[in-house]
Chains A and B, each alone.
Chain A
């Protein structure tokens, strides 16, 4: 295991044990259906609740977690890995609070299965600042423009905003409003968020 890899103790270990305890043994083939198809049909019943060993690369580190196939990336980040920056607003793809970068693009962790995020590169709000604590220009801009009140939507807003700039969709206030519309803010900090995105887009040089 390299320096950047570490085994993560599940945060919700007790509940996990219960799930494992109630599961029968069964092998769930994850890659290579053709080769495994026979085993899958014969070794019935495969218990769908059996915990899966999943390796998630988050903010450059590899985390080994045991998850139920039903667990979303959002729950794995928050409850298993202990990164609570990504927030759960609606849990149904409607608010953007759970926005993270996956392979460099903004996606919703609440509609992504943790097991399906294997082999992909996830970045959360915790992964933005430099090791010495220097904030990302978008974080700086949110502070400078006072672009939040309660802060609940802010991690999702910031990751979405970084993508918005990288996509080339932060060239005017109208365009920022349209391309940030996937992130709702109950405190209605919208005017300041638009200002922050435009400020950071100049500093980010895209």
Chain B
């Protein structure tokens, strides 16, 4: 691990004021739970010169609040706290499930929601700097995965420069529920749709988000649409537990009898970024939710999929995962629809 300077400011105001007043040539890297950052620093993949620990400063943004219309999740809330929160589990099951099916209990006690959505890919070539070619780690160096072992890689949203998968689970729930994210930085606060946070790899896979330098995620804001209570997260893995998704689906459906009033779908383990399946949603709207419709919707969401040498199975697996998730959502017992 490269040497770094460690700072632990007491409040977020201190962090933001200091950035505004004393901009430094050395950009700060934020430390939240550390479960991505420390791991990648040990591997030499991330080499920050200045680490700003937000554990104390972020504690003002660690709350879970629901006013009946909007759920606000502080970016510094731990995954475990949110997963086990009774209101979240009852009114936003897809959120609770995406979190409790991720990582391990120890990691969920450490990891924050903000750090979670910013986790980096598990592409083995990205994680191992002895591989020279990785455009995400070293811009312009090429991509070792294109001709390498790419079973875990993405089939949606990739580019010729990078085919890495975005592995996070929670982000799929946020995508499906139309969440927005509140950001604070040297230039003030702003709110953007969560869907605008991550960038497709394109020709710049090393630029993963639209965050401005020094900006901190403060809150996730999730509207309680009529689809939120009939929602779930289905995660398919190589082993039963403590494993990333090979394919997953976050679905939220508002029903009018047998007919779909509105459907929100995101797909995990399959795409380069958190992935909203708008094509599938359009097919489901106003249709009777049965296996035939669900299959048509699932096929539509993979129409533009591009398989690599080892991961063509992900297209069929992703389709089947979505069909199963939709049929499970249709049969959920929900109090009011």
Interface, chain A (partner B; CB < 8 A)? 28-34, 37-38, 40-41, 46-49, 52, 68-70, 72, 91-93, 96, 99, 105-108, 111-113, 115-116, 160, 163-164, 167, 169, 177-179, 181-183
Contact = CB atoms under 8 A, between A and B. Distances in A.
Nearest to B14: A34
Contacts of B55: 116
B9 A33 contact: yes
Nearest to A120: B55
Contacts, number: 124
Given A33-B52, A41-B24, A48 B4 contact: yes
Contact of A116 (B9, B34, B105): B34
B8 A69 contact: no
A140 B5 CA distance: 44
B49 A116 contact: no
Contacts of B15: 33
A48 B3 contact: yes
Given A93-B106, A113-B53, A169-B105, 16 more contacts: A37-B18, A37-B21, A41-B22, A52-B6, A69-B4, A69-B6, A70-B1, A108-B35, A108-B106, A111-B107, A116-B6, A160-B106, A164-B105, A181-B240, A181-B242, A182-B242
Contacts of B43: 92
24 contacts: A29-B7, A32-B10, A33-B15, A34-B14, A34-B17, A37-B22, A38-B22, A40-B5, A40-B24, A41-B24, A48-B3, A49-B3, A70-B41, A92-B39, A93-B35, A99-B106, A112-B110, A113-B6, A115-B8, A116-B34, A116-B53, A160-B105, A167-B105, A181-B104
Interface hub of B33, B55, B242 (most chain A Cβ within 10 A)? B242
A34 B7 CA distance: 11
A28 B38 contact: no
A48 B49 contact: yes
Contact of A182 (B13, B38, B104): B104
B85 interface: no
B110 A107 contact: yes
Contact of B105 (A28, A29, A49, A163): A163
Contact of A30 (B8, B14, B49, B110): B8
B311 to A, nearest CB: 22
B35 A111 contact: yes
Contacts of B261: none
B241 interface: yes
A30 B241 contact: no
Contacts of B53: 113, 116
The 6 A-B pairs at the shortest CB distance, nearest first, are namely: A182-B104, A33-B9, A48-B3, A181-B241, A34-B14, A37-B22
A182 B52 contact: no
Nearest to B13: A34
Interface majority SS (helix, strand, loop, mixed), chain B? mixed
Interface in B229-286: 240-242
B190 interface: no
A49 B2 CA distance: 9
A30 B41 CA distance: 20
Contacts of A92: 39, 42-43
A92 B36 CA distance: 9
B104 A96 contact: yes
Contacts of B224: none
A70 B241 contact: no
Contacts of B312: none
Nearest to B17: A34
A13 to B, nearest CB: 20
A134 to B, nearest CB: 27
Contact of B38 (A30, A37, A99, A111): A111
A182 B105 contact: yes
Contacts of A178: 241
B35 A33 contact: no
B100 to A, nearest CB: 9
A90 B197 CA distance: 32
A48 to B, nearest CB: 4
B70 interface: no
Contact of A177 (B33, B56, B105, B241): B241
A96 B109 CA distance: 13
A177 B107 CA distance: 16
Contact of B18 (A34, A93, A160, A169): A34
A32 B107 CA distance: 28
A105 B8 CA distance: 22
A107 B55 CA distance: 15
A171 to B, nearest CB: 14
B39 A32 contact: no
Nearest to A90: B39
A93 B5 contact: no
Nearest to A32: B10
A188 B236 CA distance: 24
Contacts of B80: 105
Interface string B19-31: 0011010000001
